[in-house]
């Protein structure tokens, strides 16, 4: 049974490695960056890729003019989105100073004056003003604060997606502009065809990547399932000799439960800026609790064993 399990695990792991090597072969850093840009544009502005694939050296100036105008408009929109995101972030940051009923009452009293200046440039000031005015006590505040954080995550993530899309499209447009600036007609036509070929290749590889990723997940979970079956089979087949293992697994599960139950879901300004949500913060706190508990528990066991052995020798 053990040999069969080992062979199965190694076979699955080996197949996963082969898939990774086949997909990654020939990808240097420059190629990876170009691939990433094409995948990004394929999601954000697929028409740009279609137009470029059908472009000729005669139509390149029109292509450049069209998408430069599109990018200028997108950058203007992102500038507005950044302002709205900054207003949102500043409001959440200030709300983070509310820690009890007293601080809540103080903020509530100053809120009418605060809101006039804070939300003067907001697209929808009533979203913030009415939302906070509907909170009547500190007991209701945390629920409101968590919901506000969740809305901010959406706003922030949409903005970051927009930034990434514009960066990718700007990079591609620069490549096209550089090709258009080539004086030699023959060289210009060759460079354009190479770029178009790369786009078709990357689009095809993106589909292959998605397939490979799905297969990798399947192989990963298949390996975990096989290992779990083996662990359970081995444990219950030798119950007496594995009592210590079962106790250890139970203790670890208990530590995770305690860590998650005691972890704070409060979002610091840094966490908000990085796009973390309350659930992620809580799991990070639980992980730290488990890690520190195991570290100090191990130290305590080592020190305790040393003291016990020293006393025993005497």
Mean residue pLDDT of the chain comes to: 80
Q: Are 71 and 170 in contact (CB under 8 A)?
A: yes
Spatial separation of the C-alpha atoms in residues 9 and 31, rounded to whole Å:
33
Token readout for 11 is 């076979």
CA atoms within 13 A on the CB side of 240: 0
Question: For 256-291, b where at least 16 C-beta lie within 10 A, e where not — what string?
Answer: beebeeebeebbeeebbeeebbbeebbbebbeebbe
For the stretch 177-216, pLDDT in tens is 999 999 999 999 999 999 898 888 877 665 665 666 576 6
Q: Are 274 and 292 in contact (CB under 8 A)?
A: no
Residue whose token pair is 């081995």? 234
Token readout for 196 is 């178009």
Token readout for 94 is 């200030």
Identify the band that residue 134 occupies on the pLDDT scale cut at 50, 70 and 90: very high
pLDDT at residue 167 tops 70: yes
pLDDT at residue 273 tops 50: no
Q: Are 78 and 159 in contact (CB under 8 A)?
A: yes
Q: Give me the percent of the chain exceeding a pLDDT of 70.
A: 69
For the stretch 62-108, pLDDT in tens is 999 999 999 999 999 999 999 999 999 999 999 999 999 999 999 99
Task: Give how far Cα 186 sits from Cα of 59, 179, 180, 191, 197, Å.
Answer: 15, 11, 12, 9, 17
Spatial separation of the C-alpha atoms in residues 34 and 200, rounded to whole Å:
12
Token readout for 305 is 């064993």
pTM of the predicted model, to two decimals? 0.61
For the stretch 136-156, pLDDT in tens is 999 899 899 989 988 998 898
Q: Are 48 and 169 in contact (CB under 8 A)?
A: yes
Instruction: Give 304's contacts (C-beta < 8 A, 6+ positions apart).
Output: none
Q: Are 195 and 176 in contact (CB under 8 A)?
A: yes
Spatial separation of the C-alpha atoms in residues 43 and 30, rounded to whole Å:
20
Spatial separation of the C-alpha atoms in residues 252 and 282, rounded to whole Å:
17
Spatial separation of the C-alpha atoms in residues 157 and 274, rounded to whole Å:
10
């Amino acid at each position: 049974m053990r040999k069969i399990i080992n062979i199965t695990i190694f076979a699955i792991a080996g197949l996963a490695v082969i898939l990774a090597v086949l997909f990654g072969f020939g990808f240097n850093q420059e190629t990876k960056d170009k691939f990433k840009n094409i995948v990004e544009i394929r999601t954000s502005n697929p028409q740009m890729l279609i137009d470029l694939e059908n472009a000729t050296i005669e139509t390149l100036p029109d292509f450049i003019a069209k998408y430069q105008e599109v990018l200028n408009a997108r950058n203007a929109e992102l500038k507005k989105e950044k302002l709205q995101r900054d207003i949102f972030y500043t409001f959440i940051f200030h709300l983070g100073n509310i820690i009890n009923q007293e601080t809540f009452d103080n903020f509530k009293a100053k809120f009418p004056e605060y809101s006039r200046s804070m939300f003067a440039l907001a697209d929808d000031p009533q979203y913030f003003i009415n939302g906070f005015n509907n909170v009547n006590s500190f007991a209701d505040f945390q629920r409101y604060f968590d919901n506000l954080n969740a809305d901010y995550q959406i706003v922030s993530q949409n903005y970051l997606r927009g930034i990434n899309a514009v960066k990718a499209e700007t990079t591609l447009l620069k490549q096209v502009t550089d090709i258009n600036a080539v004086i030699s007609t023959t060289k210009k036509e060759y460079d354009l065809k190479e770029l178009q070929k790369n786009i078709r290749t990357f689009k095809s590889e993106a589909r292959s990547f998605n397939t490979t990723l799905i297969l990798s997940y399947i192989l990963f979970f298949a390996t975990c399932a096989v290992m779990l079956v083996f662990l359970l089979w081995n444990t219950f087949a030798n119950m007496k000799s594995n009592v210590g293992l079962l106790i250890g697994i139970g203790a670890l599960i208990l530590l995770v439960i305690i860590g998650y139950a005691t972890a704070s879901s409060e979002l610091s300004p840094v966490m908000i800026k990085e796009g973390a949500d309350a659930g992620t913060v809580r799991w990070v706190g639980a992980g730290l609790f488990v890690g520190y508990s195991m570290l100090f528990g191990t130290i305590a066991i080592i020190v305790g064993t040393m003291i016990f052995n020293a006393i025993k020798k005497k």
